[in-house]
């Protein structure tokens, strides 16, 4: 096994472990500690589950197959490519919907709490993310393009070789509706949220304590929206570049595809970090977990014991 392959396996294993731990922890806290059925909480749970499944289905086979010559276009490989692609588009759709929801909360809070809190509305929005994501993943099975071994021969993915006559139109549609359109929605959500928040900040009627708390909440929404937009473009722009180069029939180096694929795996941990672990309210629940309290107390006792031993040693020297 080459040094490059060893580094790749270490990276993928690290992402897999972090994804399983972080997404499982986030889902557990949201389900059993927060115990709320707000639309934003349900989206976080759903997104965590999608990222968890994407990492398990996509990373474990790639880690197991250490020799790239072993990979062939088998039914298992195609199913893995279908699942990874479906969960990836589902995750992207979650992000764009999440951005819209936050924008509505900031810009039209009364409309949101009056009209957007019904249970059927929450279920419909979440299901639509999965339907949209796996609809695109299903198209290659019904004749619109096909799944093929990737250019670097390390996974099954889309037909970047354009060996199918309809692959160019499919890749163009993917670029528009699964990359550019979600990115546009996220940017517009960030723009309108920022504009609304800063317009309200100059209003003289928001000086009492209650409104200051609302300001803090809006700033938190703005921070999460900004980070989500930044991470989205950092992670998915490389694949958009590969798609454009492929459509222009410019040869894409295999190592470039590998880097894009490895980079995209970070999406399985970035979303949960942004939506959960940087949130102070979530951090309070996290610190109250028994395991975290046990580790914290153990670490504190060790430091206390070490400091006590050091002090005793200094006293003996004196």
In order along its 318 residues, the chain shows pLDDT tens digits of 567 677 878 888 999 999 999 999 998 888 888 877 788 888 889 999 999 999 998 888 777 765 554 466 778 788 888 999 999 999 999 999 988 888 888 888 777 777 777 778 888 899 999 999 999 999 999 999 999 888 888 888 899 989 999 999 999 999 999 999 999 999 998 898 888 877 777 665 555 544 555 566 677 778 888 888 999 999 999 999 999 999 998 988 888 888 888 888 888 999 888 888 887 778 787 888 777 777 677 655 565 555 555 544 343 444
Question: Would you call 168 exposed, middle or buried from its count of C-beta atoms within 10 A (0-12, 13-18, 19+)?
Answer: middle
* Dist. CA 130–CA 170, nearest whole Å: 19
What residues form DSSP beta bridges with 301? none
Nearest Cα neighbor of 134 from 67, 177, 86, 174 is: 86
pLDDT at residue 200, as a whole number? 72
pLDDT at residue 69, as a whole number? 47
Nearest Cα neighbor of 185 from 146, 129, 136 is: 129
* Dist. CA 90–CA 77, nearest whole Å: 20
Distances (CA, A) of 274 to 62, 106, 318: 26, 18, 51
pLDDT at residue 282, as a whole number? 81
Question: Nearest 5°: phi and psi at 67?
Answer: -100, 120
C-beta separation of 25 from 279 below 8 A = no
Considering the entire predicted model, what is its pTM?
0.85
What residues form DSSP beta bridges with 158? 147
pLDDT at residue 313, as a whole number? 39
* Dist. CA 57–CA 168, nearest whole Å: 27
* Dist. CA 47–CA 90, nearest whole Å: 8
User: b/e for 86-125, b at 16 or more Cβ within 10 A?
Assistant: bbbbbbbbbbbbbbbbbbbbbbeeeebeeeeeeeeebeeb
pLDDT at residue 280, as a whole number? 77
* Dist. CA 228–CA 241, nearest whole Å: 20
Q: How far is CA 226 from the centre of its chain?
A: 14
What token pair was written down for 29? 């806290």
Local structure of 199: helix, strand or coil? helix
What token pair was written down for 119? 């249970």
Measured from the Cβ of residue 77, the count of other Cβ atoms closer than 10 Å reads: 20
Residue 78 DSSP one-character state: H
Q: How far is CA 235 from the centre of its chain?
A: 10
């Amino acid at each position: 096994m080459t040094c490059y392959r060893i580094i790749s396996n270490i990276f993928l294993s690290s992402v897999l472990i972090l994804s399983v731990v972080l997404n499982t922890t986030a889902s557990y806290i949201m389900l059993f500690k927060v115990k709320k059925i707000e639309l934003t909480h349900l989206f976080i749970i759903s997104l965590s589950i999608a990222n968890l499944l994407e990492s398990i289905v996509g990373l474990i086979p790639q880690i197991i197959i250490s020799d790239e010559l072993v990979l062939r276009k088998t039914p298992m490989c195609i199913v893995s490519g279908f699942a990874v692609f479906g969960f990836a588009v589902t995750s992207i759709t979650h992000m764009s919907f999440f951005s819209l929801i936050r924008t509505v909360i900031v810009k039209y809070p009364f409309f949101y709490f009056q009209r957007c809190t019904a249970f059927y509305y929450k279920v419909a929005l979440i299901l639509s993310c999965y339907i949209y994501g796996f609809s695109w993943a299903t198209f290659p099975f019904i004749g619109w393009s096909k799944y093929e071994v990737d250019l670097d021969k390390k996974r099954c993915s889309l037909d970047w070789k354009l060996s199918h006559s309809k692959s160019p139109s499919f890749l163009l549609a993917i670029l528009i509706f699964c990359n550019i359109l979600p990115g546009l929605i996220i940017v517009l959500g960030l723009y309108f949220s920022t504009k609304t928040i800063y317009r309200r900040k100059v209003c003289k009627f928001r000086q009492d304590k209650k409104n200051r708390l609302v300001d803090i909440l809006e700033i938190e929404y703005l921070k999460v929206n900004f980070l989500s937009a930044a991470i989205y473009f950092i992670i998915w722009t490389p694949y958009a570049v590969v798609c454009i180069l492929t459509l222009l029939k410019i040869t894409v180096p295999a190592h470039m595809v590998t880097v894009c694929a490895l980079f995209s795996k970070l999406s399985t941990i970035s979303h949960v970090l942004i939506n959960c672990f940087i949130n102070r309210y979530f951090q309070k629940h996290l610190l109250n977990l028994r395991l975290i309290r046990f580790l914290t107390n153990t670490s504190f006792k060790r430091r206390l014991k070490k400091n006590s031993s050091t002090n005793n040693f200094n006293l003996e020297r004196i």
